Structure 1
Amino acid sequence: MTPRVLTAALALCGLLATPFVPAAENAGAPVKLTHVAGPFTADAASLDKYETPDWFRDAKFGIWSHWGPQAVPRAGDWYARNMYIYGTPQYEHHLKHYGHPTKFGYKDIIPLWKAEKFDPDALMALYAKAGAKYFVSMGVHHDNFDLWDSKYHRWNAVKMGPHRDIVGDWQKAAVKAGLRFGVSEHLGASYGWFGTSHGHDEVFPQLGVPYDGADPQYADLYHTKHDELFSGGPQWYTKNTAFHQEWFNRVTDLVTHYKPDLLYSDGGIPFGTTGRTMLANFYNENIKTHGKLEAVYNHKDLGSGEFLRKAGVQDVERGVMNGIQPLPWQTDTSMGDWFYSEGYKYKTTRDVVTMLADIVSKNGNLLLNVVQYPDGSLPPESRTFLDEMAAWIKVNGDAIYGTRPWKTFGEGPTKTEGGAFNESAGYTPNDIRFTTKNGALYAITLGEPKGQVRIASLGAKAGLETRPVKSVSLLGATAPLHWKQDDDALVIDVPATMPTAIASSFKIGF
């Protein structure tokens, strides 16, 4: 995923469609940019005129397929990079299962990705039932492998591996299921990220023997040898303009061919004018397709790259924001590891539901990666989540979809910290999140309430709402509730049997 620029705080086979020119051979050449006519230009002031479309603000919940050849070893995220770092768990895993990376490298993992059980229509039906209103397909990860019939890159899923258009198959399934479609690009960071493939062991018996990434015949996968190696600091994007050109060509090919309504970049806007030109083109093409702007661009205030808050939708990886935000935003996170990993602890449905309610109360959306096996099928943890989420959202969806923030996002004893890579929260039934729609207020308990629910924000003298409470109902229940509005709180007697587990949604009228 994104730069593990995080140490503490931020430490945390086919033929080429066009001749390949190694980036280092033409590192200083100016980027040749095409411009699509329309209201947006590459100027930051022009992009600041962007307004988030209503479909995204209403959708609230999307599902992501963060999936590709790196799932094959079943050893987790960043495998293609870490298998070339001597002594890491993924290096040791690779040595044990495949052999030494001087002989058997990532290029040899790619053909093992067959996706033989990948059924996008069946999966999309499950995602839609679980409440997703948009779906995002990975287009290309940092491993430099395109999941579509790439015009500019021979290392792609149509020519290698599964020999099918993964992005195209996902797109067709999403459209068929009535979901908005998006793509993610992680290519921008690949140049420095993949530099480990040019290394070697630091000990005998393979001391100094180069890994397979040093073989010039694979330079279009591993990039040419260079000194801009990502090493955990804030430098995420290369200054090499030849790679900027390659990025522009391939991402333009991706969005032009599939016409997504959402594009996600794994970092800030890459490469200055090059990235801003791509973004302006994406918006202008989208306007031509829909007759109005329906496009969403996710980017991050993290690492290098340009962060223009008004030019798109801010994305926060594995974290949330503090308080109600004036502009729409998005959390992206995963059920488990970003790529399938044996033994990884998965989020529970309760984890996801409470996170969703918290995010929506603060004017945000949740984009969730549902982990897939290498063959494209679902691990039991993912399938259990989808079934449980479908049951919860069927009852409580009215408190989520199409809502907007209230005067305060919520109340309760649990305090959370905003920011990326900070998503754990031990919520209780006394933690409540608010949303509003069509004059009604929804109060969502972040746990299963027992006995009584006390909502201090709705006390008659709380000062947040001058109108007296007129009605209180429980989504999914038909029997009337017993409630009273005291000076210090709205007090609701909880039924002995609740419509759903995990969390409950009360609808309040004034």
Structure 2
Amino acid sequence: MITIEGIKQVANQGPYAPNWQSLGNFELPHWFRQAKFGIFIHWGLYSVPAFNNEWYSRNMYIQDHPEFAHHVATYGSHTEFGYKDFIPMFTAEKFDAIQWAQMIKDAGAKYVFQVAEHHDGFQMYQSDLSKWNVVEMGPKQDILGELKTAFEAEDLHFCASSHRAEHWFFMGHGQEFESDIKEPMVKGDFYWPAQPEPDNQALYSEPYPSQEFLDDWLFRTVELIDKYQPELLYFDWWIQHDAFKAHLQLLAAYYYNRGAEWGRKVGICYKHDAMMFGSGIVEIERGKFADAQPFYWQTDTAITHNSWCYTTNLDYKATKEILHDLIEVISKNGNLLLNVGPKGDGSIPDTDQRILKEIGDWLNINGEGVYESKPWRKAGEGPTKVVSGQFQNTKRYTSEDIRFTVKGEALYAFVLEAPTDGKVKIRSLAESADQNLPEFHGIVDLVEILGYTGDLSWTKDASGLNISCPELDSNFPIVCKITMK
């Protein structure tokens, strides 16, 4: 049985303690820095209505929202058919954890985050704290447990995310009119606590989450840790609220100490400075840093522009756009976490499968410049610049936009847009008589383009390293491997 006293005992047993001073000793798992590319999976009850995005459970109760009108037109009155009534429809009859694991491995990913509980409060795992979970309802199978087994069988690192914090207010709009969300509500109810929604940027917004809710959040997260032993945890945005600070430090110390018991380093991915810098992994949603960072970080983005879960109106990204994201991130000392959204029945959409296969095919050729690489002395060159921050627009790159990584004796130059004339110029490798001016003084021994078997020649002069590959034909970024003496 989970108790506050038991949590505090583990949190204080060392090597960590529940304060930022101690948690600042956090050490990044070695495998994470080497992995570079992971998969996020948003699959849950919201995948059944499959309308607009994964916030359906909130938006269907907002009276001027498209989801509200859609819900009434499709399912009827909110008093007769509420969000909970999707549960019997969530049968996951085509779910195959082994197939998922093989597809993700073939895509070249090294780790996977499954959403264990989204804002809607429906748990994708077996829980002793709530009956509203996939073992007791809906699919009636332990989705998270099956995925853990399948992923680890393919040597994929198993990770999990919790979005429970936002449940404090996520169903609150349903109390503004006649619906199936109504008082009295008590702990244990599916929709509880359904409080008024705050400004999501307000760090001190009222009403503050109650002690009862905070303890419930803590207990659910501890249960997730102990039952499934994820190698990383991911928290969505609302844990930066002031009310979570004490519980978050307690939870982090508990988790990191559990990791020490298991004999492996674990970590927490967080947004918006919810945790003190240095106590976990900095996360950026749908964005990047403009320059290489001295700390390791991760960006999470989706395979589509408009949703994290499967819907019937998905706006998919091009595979090249996703590869651009991956290259930008790894050149700046980070990892890319790419989200896919299975259908409500558990099948993976054909377009997702195609994109993942194309990424995997590209990584099979170019992965040596990706996995286990490090940033070079500069992240890249070229006219196209990105802006630091979340939710940044996609850039249009040119053949002059080049990003760098380094590993062993080789510098890898990623040409983001393959040149149509077969000519590449890397200006950062220019020669100069003035030893104080150029960025590079090393001796180039060999130049190759990964996966390219045509004619290739190269020269090095005051303008840069000039590569000619007249037979080059690629729709995706190319990677020049420059081996040094």
TM over 0.5: yes
Take 1:361 and 1:428, find their aligned partners in 2: how far apart are those partners?
Answer: 17
Identify if the C-alpha distance between structure 1 residues 234 and 32 changes in structure 2 by more than 3 Å, giving closer, same or farther. Answer: farther
Alignment of 1:5-404 (within 5 A): 33-36=7-10, 37-75=13-51, 76-200=53-177, 210-216=178-184, 220-224=189-193, 226-227=195-196, 229-235=197-203, 238-267=208-237, 268=239, 271-290=244-263, 292-293=264-265, 295-301=266-272, 306-336=274-304, 337-404=307-374
CA offset at residue 474 of structure 1?
A: 1.1
Any idea what the Cα deviations from partners look like across 1:365-422, whole Å, max 9, x if unmatched? 0111112111111112101101211210100000100001001100111121111111
Tell me the residue number matched to 1:205. Answer: none
1:62/1:367 contact within 8 Å kept: yes
Q: Deviations over 1:40-66 (max 9, x none)?
A: 111101111112121000000001111
The answer as to whether partners of 2:301 and 2:338 remain within 8 angstroms in 1 is yes
Distance in 1 between residues matched to 2:406 and 2:455, nearest whole Å = 21
382-391 vs 257-266, which deviates more?
Answer: 382-391
Query: Structure 1: how far apart are the matches of 2:424 and 2:348?
Result: 37
- Partners in 1 of 2:66 and 2:199 — Cα distance? 17
Are 2:170 and 2:194, in contact at CA under 8 Å, matched by a contact in 1? no
TM-score, length of structure 2 as denominator length = 0.92
**How many Å apart are 1:314 and its aligned residue?**
0.5
Checking the alignment, whether the CA contact within 8 Å between 2:169 and 2:193 is kept in structure 1 is no
Q: 1:225 to 1:449 in 2, by over 3 A?
A: closer
- Conserved in 2, the CA contact under 8 Å of 1:269 and 1:275? no
Which residue pairs with 1:433 in the alignment? Answer: 403
Residue 8 of structure 2: SS of its match in structure 1? Answer: coil
How far is 1:218 from its partner? 7.6
Q: Counterpart of 1:190 in 2: which secondary structure?
A: helix
Separation (CA, whole Å) in 2 of partners of 1:67 and 1:221:
18
Which residue in 1 is equivalent to 2:463?
Answer: 488
- How far did residue 92 of structure 1 move? 1.1
Q: Note the C-alpha offset of 1:225.
A: 5.3
1:162-208 Cα offsets, whole Å, 9 max, x none, are: 111111111011101110010000001110222112221xxxxxxxx
**Structure 2 counterpart of 1:288, which letter?**
E
| 1:477 equivalenced with 2:461 (yes/no) | no
Unaligned runs of 5+ in 1: 1-16, 19-29, 201-209
Do the aligned partners of 2:380 and 2:401 also contact (CA within 8 Å) in 1? yes
Distance 1:63-1:224 versus aligned 2 partners, 3 A rule: closer
Distance in 2, matches of 1:235 and 1:110, equals 33
How many Å separate the matches in 1 of 2:387 and 2:175?
A: 39
1-side partners of 2:79 and 2:343: how far apart? 27
User: Which residue number in structure 2 is paired with residue 464 of structure 1?
Assistant: 439
- Greater mean alpha carbon deviation, residues 84-93 or residues 457-466: 457-466
Question: What SS is found at the alignment partner of 2:70?
Answer: helix
Deviations 1:93-115 (A, max 9, x none): 11111112122111111221111
1:225–1:418 distance in 2 versus 1, CA, 3 Å: closer
Is the contact made by 1:349 and 1:385 (CA closer than 8 Å) also made in structure 2?
A: yes
- Structure 2 residues without counterparts, runs of 5 or longer: none
Kept in 2, the 8 Å contact 1:83–1:90? The answer is yes
- What does the per-residue CA deviation read over 1:268-288, in whole Å, with 9 as the maximum and x for residues that have no partner? 466112111111111111111
Contact 2:36 2:371 in 1 (8 A): yes
CA contact (8 A) 1:31 1:274 kept: no
Q: 1:483 aligns to what SS in structure 2?
A: strand
1:421 to 386, 391, 403: 391
Question: Do the aligned residues in 2 keep the contact of 1:192 with 1:230 (CA within 8 Å)?
Answer: yes
Aligned residue type for 1:375: D
Change (3 A) 1:225 1:405: closer
Deviation at 1:258, TM superposition (A): 0.5
Contact 1:320 1:419 in 2 (8 A): yes
Deviation at 1:449, TM superposition (A): 2.2
